[in-house]
A and B are shown apart, each in its own frame.
Chain A
Amino acid sequence: MRNRFGNLLWTRINTGILPYLLILAHIGLGSALVYSAPRSNLAFLVLISSLFSLYILEADRRFKLIVGAVLALLIIPVIGVRNIFYLEVIFQISVFAALALGLNIVVGFAGLLDLGYVAFYAVGAYLWAFFGSQQYFVLPFAPGTQPSDLPFLLPGDAFYLFLFLAIIVAAITGILLGSPVLRLRGDYLAIVTLGFGEVIRVLANNLDKPLNITNGPQGITPIQRPTMPDWAVDGFNSLFGPVIGHRVGPADMYNVLFYVLALAVILIIILVTRHLDDSKIGRAWTAIREDETAAIAMGIPLVRMKLAAFAVGASFAGVMGVLLAASRTFISPESFSFMQSIGVLAMVILGGSGSIAGVILGAAVVTLLNLQVLQGVSLYLSELRQSDAVIPLINFAWKDLSNQLDPAKYQRLLFGLILILMMIFRPAGLIPARRRMRTLAAEPPEAE
């Protein structure tokens, strides 16, 4: 849909070494800005958006991979430990990107509107919350009455095992929740999945009696983290010490660890999604989305394929649930509300339903908007309010500005607006999904 001038500009930008220079310049600028101003939101946005230009500009694949690896494994950890908040933001982006990728399989590929997706996230989170805390020994006690010297059920390193277990448990939950509802279509499916999502949350809220499994609304804490070996801390310090400027303690190293884990999970999820999409299964999902009747007439078992989509999508959320529980060391039913499901759905739609790069971008945009942009503007406004500044021309004193005008409070309103505008101007999302173009061999000589 780009116009002619845009097209021309785009080809100009992508000729010769220009894209390489642009990518490096963007990353360099971002790194320098963040390094010199570790508290600036704007600087961070410049750096994080360099990932986008790395993706979109046309450069050699190997170059992109190497630069991406340097950015992800060197620059971001170093900059992250100078300001832990950045690592936290990136971790949240990764978590939501994984959720969005999972929901993308269900909604984007198979076309099944699931409004209760966060249930699978909750299943993963509570799985590790139960086994990775003292909760097993709290079972007979009502919330708040347990003795304080209870042991932990499993060692913290069992976390890694539970990353894999969560895949299986969440997938089974997906199949269990999916099998009764997948005979429904469209709106009916959406409403029933919404209901199931709420059921899981309400269960988490109320399963504190007769046996105290979830500790009710108070949530479970402390949840163990995997052990942080000394060599990792020392190694990181000796590698990056000079650039960082201070010694990094184990607490901050946990942020780096969870960031790296989330990154690894995302990479695996992307690979799984791409490989499934471009196989018999992925084609069957898309066919179901396009036309169920024609799909089944072509021999595609509808229910089995839909269940597969539910299971795969659920497993992504399950893994991220375990990661969330361990990184927060605390979870409660509040984290798995209906609004979370809607938020993830908004990421998928905003980014581009069915498009891997799109939904990751969607997750990044929404998370950054939430954590950085809106809060940044709110902060700026409150600073103005406390100053004696006056808007020129209309002679309006900033300190008279109402406290109600706090952008962070208007988050949902802004989301709604963005989604409406997207539906009008770019209904296929920021990066629309495209079918893979095959290199079809030129007509081979007629077979005899």
Chain B
Amino acid sequence: MTLLETIDLVKSFGGLTAVNKVNFQVEPGRIVSIIGPNGAGKTTLFNTLTGIYRPDQGDIRFNGRSLAGLRPDRIAARGIARTFQNIRLFGGMTVIENILIGMHVHLSQSPLEALLRLPGFRREEREAEQRAMALMRTVGLVGVGNELAANLPYGAQRRLEIARALAAEPLLLLLDEPAAGMNPQETEEMTRLFRTIRDERGVTILLIEHDMRVVMNISERICVMDYGEKIAEGTPAEIRADARVIEAYLGRGAVAGQHEERWR
């Protein structure tokens, strides 16, 4: 059974078709990458999957049910969490609070319980705090629970965004360029973190990434987009050898020897 499936998905802005009849599937427990040149429609695809944009045509099926037309918060509650290309943390809130926001859909406290500070409320808050601490350790943030998210260094902000997304206990995690702006060592750590998340939590990961070392290293399948269309899909080895992909990246007439270097 597939976890996520798009069927002839179309999203256009005015005359520009940013996502054009895209069909692809993600099997549960996989790590799948979407690559493509700038402006290929990768982020638009993410925004359509998470409900920020409404698809113009086609359908998105997640865990057996259609997501098309649902509000973003409903989609999040179904089990899709995401990070953003340009980090979007709640800068004025503390690190712990950011992670607690991620747990929003799983906290069962009612307003009345919160107002009266009933024992159930206190217990839930305490447990949530502990889970948040555990998540901080998972992503490698230590001792910064009370810092404001905006004051964290860049790399830590990326990690916090992942922790916040994991707090929602998603079935599918969408990562939008998680390694952007990181040095090789940080990138290495990130790649390892993604594997851990998948292996230990069973979370399926779909990521957009430009760093080919990450993509080729971690992905089990790769989907290539160009001008809003899916132009190729396959294992890393297949993608490396695909003529259309090479053309999209390097232009028509690129010689075989040149691309080898780029993909290394």
Contact = CB atoms under 8 A, between A and B. Distances in A.
Interface of A: 272, 275-276, 279-281, 283-284, 286-287, 289-291, 293-302, 308, 435-438, 440-441, 443-444, 446-447
Chain B interface extent, by class: 35 or more
Interface string B108-122: 010100111100010
A94 to B, nearest CB: 21
A289 B93 CA distance: 11
Interface in B100-153: 100-102, 104-105, 107, 109, 111, 114-117, 121, 125, 129-130, 133-134, 137, 142, 145-146, 148
Contacts of B121: 279
Contacts, number: 111
Given A435-B92, A435-B148, A447-B134, A298 B114 contact: no
Contacts of B146: 435, 437-438, 440
16 contacts: A279-B109, A280-B114, A281-B111, A286-B92, A293-B84, A294-B88, A296-B71, A296-B72, A296-B73, A298-B164, A299-B104, A300-B73, A302-B73, A435-B92, A435-B97, A438-B94
A283 B104 contact: yes
Given A275-B114, A276-B114, A280-B114, A290 B164 contact: no
A293 B82 CA distance: 11
A435 B92 CA distance: 8
A298 B92 contact: no
Nearest to B146: A437
B104 A440 contact: no
Contact of A293 (B52, B105, B117, B130): B52
Nearest to B150: A290
Contacts of A293: 52, 84, 88
A284 B104 contact: yes
B101 A284 contact: yes
B113 to A, nearest CB: 8
Given A287-B101, A294-B84, A299-B73, 13 more contacts: A275-B114, A276-B111, A280-B114, A283-B100, A283-B104, A287-B93, A297-B72, A299-B76, A438-B94, A438-B129, A441-B130, A443-B142, A447-B134
A293 B114 CA distance: 25
Contacts of A298: 73, 76, 81, 101-102, 104-105, 164, 168
A199 to B, nearest CB: 29
Contacts of B72: 296-297
Contacts of A290: 90-93
Contacts of A299: 73, 76-77, 104-105, 168
Nearest to A280: B107
Contacts of B114: 275-276, 279-281
B174 to A, nearest CB: 9
Contacts of B71: 296, 301
B52 A283 contact: no
B88 to A, nearest CB: 4
B50 interface: yes
Nearest to A272: B115
A272 B115 CA distance: 6
A276 B115 contact: yes
Contacts of B148: 435
Contacts of A281: 111, 114
B101 A440 contact: no
Nearest to A354: B92
B156 interface: no
Nearest to A442: B143
